[in-house]
Amino acid sequence: MKLLFGYESSKDRWITLKQIFIFDLPKSGINKMLRTHTCGELRLDHVNQKVTLAGWVQRVRNKGGLIWVDLRDRYGVTQLIFEEGSTDKSLLEKAAQLGREFVVQAVGVVIERTSKNDKLPTGAIEIKAEELTVLNPAKVPPFIIEDETDGGDDLRMKYRYLDLRRNVVREKLQLRHRMMQETRKYMDGQNFIEVETPVLIKSTPEGARDFVVPSRVNPGEFYALPQSPQTFKQLLMVSGFDRYFQIVKCFRDEDLRADRQPEFTQIDCEMAFVTQEDILNTFEGLIKHLFSAVKGIELGYVEHMTYADAMKGYGNDKPDLRFDMKFVELDHLAKGKGFSIFDQAELIVGICAKGAAEYTRKQIDELTEWVKRPQIGAKGLVYVRYNADGTLKSSVDKFYSSEDLTFWAQAFGAQPGDLMLVLSGEAKTVRKQLSELRLKMGEDLGLRDRNVFKPLWVVDFPLLEWDEETQRFHAMHHPFTSPKREDIPLLETDPGAVRANAYDLVINGVEIGGGSIRIHDRATQQLMFTHLGFSDEEAQKQFGFLMEAFEYGAPPHGGIAFGFDRLCAIFGGSDSIRDYIAFPKNNSGRDVMIDSPSTIADAQLEELSIRVALKK
């Protein structure tokens, strides 16, 4: 037998293996529970009770013959005290040698503290220790296990299990748990049935971003992991399940951006015999329930806005409505006055930043530089300052009279003290640029409070969008989305103008869910595939089962899916989803903690009838 080393608590030393099990269990023996209370529950009511606690050593202080040990678990922190004189000497010595993150069990009596700590729920008491058992020693952790840590991103990812030990991180996952529980409670209460759909499904031609799984039993063939359970939930509607939901892992093998994960979680939902209104009402109800149950916030009215209005008013299909600053178009006021940049522009559009007239010239120059950065790409920025004294000062005074600018101010609904910012250029581009500027101004002016939540339904999305790369139309939502009845003739004449029965739920400028009323008859579905450039054979091969299902009595139906990771991040007031995932992958799709993905043995590849073929 090889000699391995372990830590023996009674002698406080590292010993060889055969003796190692001495510290494996507390003195009280295997069948005794390891604690009578958690580290978060003792109060003055418990004084004089003999208790057993177990947890991690957060801190040891040693002063004037007294040793205090802060013992931590998920539920809180309780202070143990060892006192020279009244505490057994060997116990004192043992306590003095405890290190950070040691796992210990302590038996003692609850006593009232002389100096109480109001900040701690257990701060009125401490435990006069009588026994101390090291259940497991700990090496010095690679970073500090406190709310504020000195560990960098990479180190914390490698030792994710230690990062998760920090209260601020664990609490995010407890929030996630609460969100899951409350989602299910609401959905169950609304008669939705949770159905697990398969993870091993079929790769689709659109599935360039599918993860695939070779089948050993069916050599040369592959499963794919679902990017969403879309077709299965539609089949459940054909089956008469009426109301389906699932909190489900989905997968997408795309090049990862900072805030994407190859595996992510959706709240996936579908309803039969409904119109769009039913769906919006039902899921507005879900979001309101979550805000109320998890955050104690009553959301109130949820605005509805068409995609066209969102693009026109905010340059964005997911406007942040925590602040107004709506787009105002100035073409009729600003053209034909000799300012050639505006005269040549397809669109002149601006925003009015309330109370920002105090921006200095330097600040405005910085804004101008900001919009000219390559990421934004504006050519320049026109400003009009509405001074407190009622006068107007702009960067284009050469071309516009005071009266001209007064009209502008009226168009903006501006007041003295406001700052108007105007961009011009190609309509689509300039709206996008102004949207970025609007968000920046909202941020700079402190209008994007993380504790304020403004939900919004964006409706009437386009059915199709033009893809420059492939030079054809793609489904904006997915190929199962139904066009609006009245727009169907446009499919032939102006496909880009066809509106879909599709909707997104947006909170604070973040899309947290989207869905649509689906096509539910074979002919329309087939027409849709034709318009998306599928041959009949391709359509049949990939989605024949769905189209066939539509011939056996498919009810009208529609649904929605929420990005659960993002929803949790929004609730937690965070921009990043990563902290809301227990074991996230990094930007290269790697789990650096377990070092995955990894190579596998040739024998395993052979069994799966595949071979690695690296590109040169």
* 315 contacts: CB under 8 Å, gap ≥ 6: 327, 349, 430, 431, 432, 433, 434, 435, 438
Q: Binding to its own copies (CB under 8 A): which residues in 174-193?
A: 174, 176-177, 180-181, 184, 188, 193
As measured in angstroms, the least distance from the Cβ of 438 to its own copies is 32
518 annotated as a binding-site residue: yes
Q: Which is nearer to its own copies, 194 or 331 (CB)?
A: 194
253 known member of a binding site:
yes
| Binders in 130-149 for its own copies, by CB under 8 A | 135-139, 141
Q: Is the peptide bond before 597 cis (omega within 30 degrees of 0)?
A: yes
**566 marked as part of a ligand binding site:** yes
Whichever of 342 and 480 has its CB closer to its own copies, that residue is 480
Rounded to the nearest whole angstrom, what is the least distance from the CB of residue 31 to its own copies in the complex? 6
Cα 325 from Cα 412, distance rounded (Å): 9
Q: Does 123 bind its own copies (CB under 8 A)?
A: no
Site for its own copies in 489-528 (CB under 8 A): 492, 520-524, 526-527
Q: How far is the CB of 281 from its own copies (least distance, A)?
A: 10
- Does 20 help bind its own copies (rule: CB under 8 A)? yes
Residue 554 interacting with its own copies (CB under 8 A): yes
Beta bridge partners, 127, equal 80, 110
Residue 88, C-beta contacts closer than 8 angstroms, at least 6 positions apart: none
Q: What kind and span of H or E run contains 71?
A: strand 66-73
What is the enclosing helix (H) or strand (E) of 94? helix 89-96
- Give the span between the Cα atoms of 578 and 163, in whole angstroms: 13
Residue corresponding to tokens 């096509």: 519
Binding mask 323-362 for its own copies (x = CB under 8 A): ----------------------------------------
Q: Would you state the structure tokens that stand for residue 48, as one six-digit string?
A: 């004089």
**At closest approach, how far in Å is the CB of 87 from its own copies?**
24
The Cα 434–Cα 245 span in angstroms is 38
**Choices 261-269, 304-312, 351-359, 398-406; region in contact with its own copies by CB under 8 A:** 261-269
Segment interacting with its own copies, rule: CB under 8 A, options 147-155, 161-169, 359-367, 506-514: 161-169
Q: Which stretch binds its own copies (CB under 8 A): 221-229, 315-323, 370-378, 413-421?
A: 221-229
DSSP codes of every residue in 460-515:
--BSEEEETTTTEEEESS-TTBPBPGGGTTHHHH-GGG-BBSEEEEEETTEEEEEE
Assigned token pair, 471:
């030079």
563 carries a ligand binding annotation:
yes
Question: Look-up: residue for tokens 């189209």?
Answer: 547
Is 591 one of the binding residues for its own copies (CB under 8 A)?
yes
Among 607, 613, 614, 615, which residue's Cα sits nearest to residue 220?
607
What are the C-alpha distances in Å from 97 to residues 141, 231, 507?
16, 61, 51
Mask of contacts with its own copies, 454-493, x by CB under 8 A? -------------------------------x--x---x-
Residue 19: CB minimum distance to its own copies, A: 10
- Draw the binding track, 67-96, toward its own copies (x: CB under 8 A; -: no contact): -----xxxx---------------------
Which one, 44 or 582, has the nearer CB to its own copies? Answer: 582
Are the CB atoms for 475 and 206 separated by under 8 Å?
no
Q: Between residue 190 and residue 209, which ones bind its own copies under the rule CB under 8 A?
A: 193-203, 205, 207-208
Q: Among 115, 360, 375, 598, indicate the residue that binds its own copies (CB under 8 A).
A: 598
Q: State in angstroms the smallest separation of the CB of 200 from its own copies.
A: 6
Residue 81: strand pairing partners:
68, 128
Interface with its own copies in residues 262-321 (CB under 8 A): 262-263, 265, 273-278
The DSSP output letter for 205 is: T
Q: How far is the CB of 377 from its own copies (least distance, A)?
A: 29
Q: Cβ distance 474 to 206 under 8 Å? A: no
**Residue 233 neighbours by CB under 8 Å, 6+ apart:** 197, 244, 246, 268, 269, 270, 559
Q: Which stretch binds its own copies (CB under 8 A): 112-120, 220-228, 295-303, 344-352?
A: 220-228
3-state secondary structure of 345: coil
User: Is 565 annotated in some ligand binding site?
Assistant: yes
Assess 60 for contact with its own copies (CB under 8 A).
no
Going by the annotation, the residues of the binding site for L-aspartate are 206, 252, 477, 518
Going by the annotation, the residues of the binding site are 206, 252-254, 261, 477, 511, 518, 563-566
